[in-house]
Structure 1
Amino acid sequence: MDYPLLNAFWTMCLIFLWVMWLFLLVRIIGDIFRSRDLNNWAKTGWLVLVILLPFVGVFVYVLARGRSMSEREVAQLEQQQKQLKTYIRETAATEGEGARHAESLAKLAELKAHGDLTEEEFQQAKAKVLA
Structure 2
Amino acid sequence: MFAPYPMTEDGWYVIPGILKNGTEVDLFRQGKKVIWQKPDLVSKTYGNDRWRKYMLNIWLRDNADYRLYYGQYLCRKWNRDHFGGQQLDRFKIYYMLEETLPNYQPPKVEKVVLWEHYCFEYPPELDSNAS
**TM bin (shorter chain):** under 0.3
Q: Which has the larger radius of gyration?
A: 1
State the TM-score, normalized to the length of structure 2: 0.23
Higher relative helix content? 1
State the TM-score, normalized to the length of structure 1: 0.23
Higher relative strand content? 2
